[in-house]
Structure 1
Amino acid sequence: MGIVLGPNRYGKAETRLVQVHRDGETHGLVDFNVSIALSGDLTATHLTGDNSGVLPTDTMKNTVYAFAREHGAGEPEAFALLLARHFVATQPQVQGATVSIESFAWDRLGPHSFRKRGDFTRTTVVSVSETATQVVSGVSGLVLLNSTDSEFHGFVEDGYTTLKPATDRILATAVDARWRHAGDGGDWAVSFQGALDALLAAFVATYSYSLQQTLYAMGSKLLEARPEVAEVRLALPNKHHYPADLSPFGLDNPNEVFIAGDRPYGLIEGSVVRDDAPPATAGWWL
């Protein structure tokens, strides 16, 4: 039986970058968490410890900070593309580079004062090879809730089923969404905001009979609104809310007081794709 080296990559994870853009008295603020992974001809270092083809991960970290100074960190997609293309172009032993960025938003309070926004994290994953480029944008931890216009009934029941049908329930979730761009250009800020607006609009407007139905509506709305997007993938945990039993206290509960469940929870995952979308060039999910 032979033993061989399988697929592998290496890189620098979670390089924290904060850049202040000083434009007169009004400043801008960028807050990134950058992770880099390189793949290619790395057999020697694994088998013999020969590091002649290994770019140190410390160099990757330094490149992040240097590029921020030289080129400016603005939209995460543009910065990730800049980094990934640099590593593939300058390192002959590197055949693929993946750069992932979490972008933390800050709300402006004044010309140079900010408050960190905590309702979601913007995400970007860029994969560059010698022949292809793929850009995936997204959000994580986007907490949404509809207090009505949600039902769940008609489901399969067996000997272990205790769940009661619901004709008026709270629907709450923490959205993790990723969308793959058909190309690698465009106004990234406008595209991201438009995609986010479409997700929110679909959640608000959909009368939901299942979280699966809501997932499809959100993905479809994003594709309709953003022609530059080829595919949307979503993971929607069902943040259960259970009506509290107030009868021991002589009180009724007309669907007003709820216990917010933590775990276990239902997890709905799926993708919505254009039927003419170009295929993905690198593996990705959520």
Structure 2
Amino acid sequence: MSVKLGPNRYGKSETRLVRVVRDGPVHHIKDLNVSTSLSGDMEAAHLTGDNAGVLPTDTQKNTAYAFAKRHGVGQIEEFALLLARHFVTTQPSIHHARVEIGEYAWSRGGPHSFVRDGGEVRTCVVHHDRDGRTTVLSGLTDLVVLNTTGSEFHGYVVDEYTTLPPTTDRVLATAVTARWRHTGESESYGKSYEEVRRCLLEAFAGTHSRSLQQTLYAMGEHALTTCPEICEVRLSMPNKHHFLVDLSPFGLDNDNEVYHAADRPYGLIEGSVLREDAPDAGFAWE
């Protein structure tokens, strides 16, 4: 029997990086979680332990810190592009770089005082390879949303194990994880992020939902038809179930007012929405 090395990559995950800009008495911060992953001529490292082509993961971490000082941190997509291109262009053994960044938001409490926001985390994933192919995915995670009405679920398959009753009025809640693929490099990733986020929220609030799948599609469709700079949206949306509490033992009615919010198990709805002419994603979603 013969064996061979398959696809592989290595890198430094979750480098916590906080960049403070001291603009006189008024300070600004960027709070990032940076993960780098490199691939290329790595057979010798795996087969014989020859590390001549290996850029240490500690070096990758230090590069992120040094670039934050040297170049500053603006839009996370631009910082990820800077890192990815650096690794590919400076290291002959590296053919492909993947950089993923999560940004944690802070609200200003004073000139140099900040309060950590409890909302969603802005994300990006950038791929760049030796052939000059670049893909930028922007996104967000943990965007928690809820509609108290305007949601139904009925007409589904019923078999001998089905106990779920149909409903024409339910609470619909989810924590959205979304990524969207740019058609090219954007002049304003920040503006694009705000616009796509707005579209996702508008579609969630404005869709009379007969299933979370329908809502997912409506959210992706609204973003694509509004934002020409993106060509595909992928969404992962757990169904955060809210069950009516039986208050009859206490002589009380419960007309869709008191619920038990269950955390698990949960339905998980995932899907992508893309333009018909969208280019092949290739390695983009890896």
Say yes or no: TM over 0.5: yes
Gaps of 5+ in 2: none
Divergent runs of 4+, >3 A = none
Contact 2:127 2:284 in 1 (8 A): no
The residue aligned with 2:51 is 51
The residue aligned with 1:170 is 171
Contact 1:235 1:267 in 2 (8 A): yes
Mapping of 1:221-260 within 5 angstroms? Answer: 221-260=222-261
Query: How far apart are residue 25 of structure 1 and its match?
Result: 2.2
In the alignment, structure 1 residue 77 sits paired with structure 2 residue 77: yes
Mapping of 1:116-265 within 5 angstroms? Answer: 116-131=116-131, 132-265=133-266
Q: Distance in 1 between matches of 2:27 and 2:256?
A: 47
Mapping of 1:25-40 within 5 angstroms? Answer: 25-40=25-40
Q: Distance in 2 between matches of 1:229 and 1:21?
A: 31
* Counterpart amino acid of residue 32 in structure 1: L
Q: Distance in 2 between matches of 1:70 and 1:98?
A: 21
2:13 match: secondary structure: coil
Number of equivalent positions: 285
1:62 match: secondary structure: helix
* Counterpart amino acid of residue 48 in structure 1: T
Contact 1:77 1:137 in 2 (8 A): yes
Q: Distance in 2 between matches of 1:225 and 1:115?
A: 32
2:20 match: secondary structure: strand
In the alignment, structure 1 residue 91 sits paired with structure 2 residue 75: no
Contact 1:121 1:140 in 2 (8 A): yes
1:140 match: secondary structure: strand
* Counterpart amino acid of residue 272 in structure 1: V
Q: Distance in 2 between matches of 1:48 and 1:257?
A: 63
2:10 match: secondary structure: coil
Over residues 70-104 of structure 1, what are the superposed CA-to-partner deviations in whole Å (9 max), with x where a residue is unaligned?
Answer: 10012110000000000000001100000000100
The residue aligned with 2:276 is 275
In the alignment, structure 1 residue 108 sits paired with structure 2 residue 97: no
Q: Distance in 2 between matches of 1:100 and 1:224?
A: 26
Q: Distance in 1 between matches of 2:110 and 2:189?
A: 25
Q: Distance in 2 between matches of 1:208 and 1:87?
A: 46
Contact 1:80 1:101 in 2 (8 A): yes
Contact 2:135 2:284 in 1 (8 A): no
Q: Distance in 2 between matches of 1:29 and 1:222?
A: 29
Gaps of 5+ in 1: none
Q: Distance in 1 between matches of 2:185 and 2:5?
A: 32
Over residues 264-283 of structure 1, what are the superposed CA-to-partner deviations in whole Å (9 max), with x where a residue is unaligned?
Answer: 11111100000011111314
Using the size of structure 2 for normalisation, the TM-score is 0.98
* Counterpart amino acid of residue 256 in structure 1: E
Contact 2:150 2:208 in 1 (8 A): yes
Q: Distance in 2 between matches of 1:85 and 1:116?
A: 31
Contact 1:27 1:112 in 2 (8 A): yes
* Counterpart amino acid of residue 126 in structure 1: V
Q: Distance in 2 between matches of 1:155 and 1:235?
A: 21
Contact 1:133 1:281 in 2 (8 A): no
Q: Distance in 1 between matches of 2:128 and 2:152?
A: 43
Q: Distance in 1 between matches of 2:57 and 2:264?
A: 38
Over residues 250-277 of structure 1, what are the superposed CA-to-partner deviations in whole Å (9 max), with x where a residue is unaligned?
Answer: 0000110001011111111100000011
Query: How far apart are residue 121 of structure 1 and its match?
Result: 0.8
Over residues 135-191 of structure 1, what are the superposed CA-to-partner deviations in whole Å (9 max), with x where a residue is unaligned?
Answer: 111111111000001111111111111111111100000001111111123201101
1:192 match: secondary structure: helix
Using the size of structure 1 for normalisation, the TM-score is 0.98
Cα RMSD (Å): 0.9
